[in-house]
Amino acid sequence: MQMNHEMGKEMGDRRFGRMNWLGLKTLSQREIMRFLVVWTQTLLAPLTTAALFLMIFTVAIGKTRGDVMGVPFTHFIAPGILMMTVIQNAFANTSSSIVISKVQGNIVDTLMPPLSPLELVLGYLAGAVARGVIVALLLSAGLALFLGITPAHPLLALAFVVLGAAFLGAVGMVAGIYSNKFDQMAAITNFIVTPLAFLSGTFYSVQALPPMIAEMTRFNPIFYLIDGVRFGVLGVSDSAPMLALTISALVTLAVSTLAWALFRSGYRLKS
């Protein structure tokens, strides 16, 4: 009788939309521990890759390349590399979690508990944002130590980092739900996520592009994340910071809503 009463109370709570805070906390902790236990792969490796990017551009181009938007070239590309690293890791965190669970057949362990679609989205996003913010903080410490770069607007820079991690975390959820095999996920990463990241003003200002290509770049949501964090770190940007913040927030909300709808429908999850 006691068990039936508790089950009835829980179902009533779900019916009236109460959050399952314990379940959300547990899922969030699981997603965070997933990347912390293999930190050499999920944290050290991307930091090394970002350092190599900066070193190569500094040695090969930095000394001969003039200032860009009034700042040294190496300083100009540093925030872009930081954000690119953040979004790639946020995408990898959610997409790999879902795809691995589907391939191994244990996605049911996530779907069976009394977690609503909203709680699933928030739980997965917690892991993506945590990983993105940790990577950003570690890279920022390196930039301050080796290049002397300190954020001009730290709170704004942090806001863009969180939005960038949340946006690509949501994209990773959608991609993970869609993909039933690792090669499908690899195709999305190689032909969608990576090109959008590299063609977003990471290594150049859109002012240097032909007018038509510059306008096309402004339809890339990752451009606003790169540009926004550049303003937060250096105080210079190609677009208005508030415009970039608004667009970043809207696309994050839109993709998160799509992920919620996919979880709610069970698309490619319950079959």
- Helix or strand or coil: residue 106? coil
| pTM for this entry | 0.91
Q: In a 3-state reduction of DSSP, which class is residue 239?
A: coil
Please name every residue paired with 114 in a beta bridge, in sequence order, or none if there are none: none
Round to the nearest angstrom and report the end-to-end CA distance of the chain.
34
- Cα atoms in the 13 Å half-sphere on the side-chain side of 14: 13
With a CB cutoff of 8 Å and minimum separation 6, the contacts of 261 are: 117
pLDDT at position 8, please? 45
What is the model's pLDDT at position 208?
Answer: 86
Distance separating alpha carbons of residues 270 and 259, to the nearest angstrom: 15
- The whole-number pLDDT of residue 28 equals 97
Instruction: For 20-44, give one letter per residue: b (16+ CB within 10 A) or e.
Output: beebbeebbebbbebbeeeeeebbe
Distance CA 74, CA 185 (A): 32
Q: Where are the alpha helices (H) located in 37-72, listed in sequence order? A: 39, 45-57
For residue 270, the model assigns a pLDDT of 79
3-state secondary structure of 152: coil
Per-residue pLDDT of the chain (271 residues; tens, 9 = 90+): 444 444 444 444 454 468 999 999 999 999 999 999 999 999 999 999 999 998 888 777 766 777 888 899 889 999 999 999 999 999 999 999 999 999 998 999 999 999 999 999 999 999 999 999 999 999 999 999 988 999 999 999 999 999 999 999 999 999 999 999 999 999 999 999 999 998 999 988 988 889 999 999 999 999 999 999 999 999 999 999 999 999 999 999 999 999 999 999 999 997 6
Alpha-carbon Rg of the chain, whole angstroms? 20
Confirm if 255 and 171 have CB atoms less than 8 A apart. yes
CA 228 to CA 171: how far, in whole Å? 19
